[in-house]
Structures are given as C-alpha cells and as structure tokens.
Amino acid sequence: MNIKIILSYDGTNYHGWQEQQNARSVAGVLLAAIRAVMGDVESVQGVSRTDAGVHAILYTANFHTEKLIPIGNIVKALNSNLPDDIRVLNAEIVDDNFHSQFDCVNKTYIYRINNCEIHSPFERTLSWHYLYELDIKKMQDAVADFIGTKDFTSFCAAGDERENRIRTINSLTISRENDIVKIEVNADGFLYNMVRIIVGTLVEIGNGKAHSVEEIIGSKDRTKAGITAPPHGLYLKEAFYK
C-alpha cells in the first residue's frame, strides 16, 4: 500500500529534509514516527531536498507499507509521534507507482524578507532581515526576464552535478505588505539554491545595483548573479501533480 501524506514543517531545527546519519533531518524524524505507527517501513520519499533551515507549507511525501490501518487514523497517529514543528495535514492511499518526487510536474516556493531597520524577534527564523531600502518597482520590472524556458546555470550553486540546467519558470511575483516582502516563484523544477540566488539578485536590483537579468542568464556564469539569500526565508509552498 502506497500512502501519500501532506505535511508542514518549520525547518529551523533540522539539517534539511534528507535523512542523514549524524544530523537531525525532517525525513529522519518523520520516518521514525511512521515506523512507530506503521511498523517496519523501509523509507519515505519527499518531493524536494530542502536545505537546512528551509520551511515547508504543503510538502508532499509518500511511503509504502504492508500494515493495514484505517486511513482516517494515520494523520492523528503520526502527529502524536511527531514534534510540534512537524505536522501531517492529510493522508491518502495512492497508486503503487506514485512517487512524490518523480511525478511532480511543478513546484511553488515563497521567499519572505523582513525589510525594516529593526528585525522582529518573531521573524528571526522565518524571514531574511534586510534593513536597507528596497525599490519594489525595480524588482518587479526585472521579473519578466526570468519567465520562460531558459538555461539557469547562472542561478545554480556549485555542487549541483546535473548537466541539464534548463528549467521553465511559469510565474514570479513580488509583493509587499507592511515590512514583509514576498517573492513567489513557480517552475517545473529548480537547481541547487536557484530560488535563493534569484532572490539575492532581485534584492540587489531593489537596492540600486545594476543587474541585467537577461545578460546574467546569457552568461551562464554564477559570479554574474547576485548573492545567495539565507535559507530561513525560504518555504516550499506546494507541489503539483498530473
């Protein structure tokens, strides 16, 4: 039986999603809870390998089990075995061939910036404190050059060994409400630190640094793009499937 679950988590206290031998991960803690409820489950698959400190709003995962348990009881049972910074929101039985990562057709990420002089203590692990003035209009004007199917090598951190750096960004929006600047991007896939480098580049544009996004993309040179924004402002908002 293949169980698909949707969960939310605050990534502050975890070294990312991926299970690790010597570090606390979301997948490791979740798998321990699944085994406590379902027995000897071999592994849990997640839609994305979120980095240390990155959060998730609607994260999709799945696991296979031979144990029969009423599907309506799984959410409550898992949450009773999980810490408060991880919550399972939904569970359902899906086709045996479903894979949360490989069947995903696109994902949406949100990045939150606390743009003010004095950082809110309630936002310190949930957003990037950027105290300098940002010109939101300039940032919004740069958005169009990101949209479409392009080679995003310039927005890929070292360590990503994938040869294919072509991705399609379907939408990218920037909005501001009081001190919070929100950048939301949807694409068919993301390279390593791609969203955080896009955010860092947009922030530099908003701070007055001259950047041509079109030239950065064309250069295929990481050094031409902006800084890598810190991880704790990033959220996986949702994954979409056929």
51 is catalytic: yes
For residues 12, 37, 41, 23, the Cα torsion angle rounded to the nearest 10 degrees is: 20
| β strands within 159-233, DSSP E | 166-177, 180-187
Name the CA radius of gyration of the chain, rounded.
19
Angle at 18 between CA 17 and CA 20, to 5 degrees: 125
* Burial of 102 from C-beta contacts in 10 A (0-12 / 13-18 / 19+): exposed
Report helix, strand or coil for 130: coil
Please tell me which residue in 51, 84, 85, 141 is annotated as part of the active site. 51
Quote the CA–CA distance of 144 and 148 in Å, as a whole number.
9
Report helix, strand or coil for 169: strand
Residues assigned a catalytic role: 51
